[in-house]
Amino acid sequence: MSDLAGKATALLTMHDDFVVLPTAWDAWSARTLVDAGFEALTVGSHPLAESRGQGDNEGMSLDDALEGITRITASVDVPVSADMESGYGAAPAELIERLLEAGAVGLNVEDTVHAEGRMREPQEHADYIAGLRAAADAAGVEVVINARTDAFARPHLHGRDPLEEAIARCELMEQAGARSLYPVVPPSRAAIGAILERVSLPVNVTAHPVRGSIFGDLAATREGGARRVSFGPLLQAALTDLIGELARPWR
C-alpha cells in the first residue's frame, strides 16, 4: 500500500502544473507509452473494451475491467489512472478497494449510468464521489478522482441548459472531493472557460494525438487553461487508421 500511496501522490502532484496522461488499453500500449517518455498513464474504458471484444458503456463487467487494468499496472512502474465508467454498480468503498488491488491510483467516474439508461442527479453523483474520497482517505491513498460529467454529451438525460448543468455539476464534484474535473465533449472553448471561472480544480480535456484538442495543439491546449489532457479512445482510433494504411498494400 505504501507503493500505491507514493504513486498516488506523484500523480496528484503532476496536476499542479499541466499533465498529459496518454490512454492505454493493454500491456503493450502501456509499455510503449512509458518508453516514449510518459510518467503516468490512463486506461480508457472504450479502448480497453475494444481490445477485449466488448462494448464501451458498461459492456464490460467490473471484473472484466479490473482484469485488464491489472495487466496494465503490472507491466509498467508508473502511476496509472483507470476509467471506471459510472462504477459498474459497485459501492464506492468496494470500487476503491478493488481499484487499489488492481494497482491503479486514480480513476475516472462519470454520471451516466448506462446499465440503467439514466444520468445521476447532480447531488447523487457528488455523493458517490464523496464516498470514493472517504474510502480512499480511509485506505491512506490519495486516489486522484477525475470526476466526469456528461452534461454536454447527453443533455436529453437531464433536460436542462448544458452549460449551466455542467458548471453546477463541476462545482458539486469539486466540493465532494474530486481532484480534477472532466466535462466531456464541450461545445466550445468558451464553455471550458466558463467552467474554469467557477472551479479551482484542474480541468481535463480530450485530445486526438494528431488533430489536437478543442484548443488546438499541445501549446494552445495549455494556454487555453486545461491542466490535464487524455486521449480517450482517440489514440487507439488513430493507430487503427495507421495499421490499416500499413497493411492495406499487402491485402
Task: Tell me how far apart the alpha carbons of residues 165 and 40 are, in angstroms, rounded to a whole number.
Answer: 31
Q: How confident is the model at residue 2 (pLDDT cuts 50, 70, 90)?
A: confident
User: What type of residue sits at position 81?
Assistant: S
Query: How do 118-119 and 112-113 pair as beta strands?
Result: antiparallel
Residue 62 within any structural domain of the chain: yes
Residue 250 within any structural domain of the chain: no
pLDDT at position 1 is 67
Report pLDDT digits (tens) over 70-108.
999 999 999 999 999 999 999 999 999 999 999 999 999
Residue 246 within any structural domain of the chain: no
Residue 177 within any structural domain of the chain: yes
Report pLDDT digits (tens) over 174-213.
999 999 999 999 999 999 999 999 999 999 999 999 999 9
Residue 248 within any structural domain of the chain: no
CATH number, domain with residue 159: 3.20.20.60
Percent of the chain beyond pLDDT 70?
100
| Whole-prediction pTM | 0.96
Residue 149 within any structural domain of the chain: yes
Domain of residue 206 covers 2-12+19-241
Number of structural domains found in the chain: 1
Residue 115 within any structural domain of the chain: yes
pLDDT at position 47 is 98
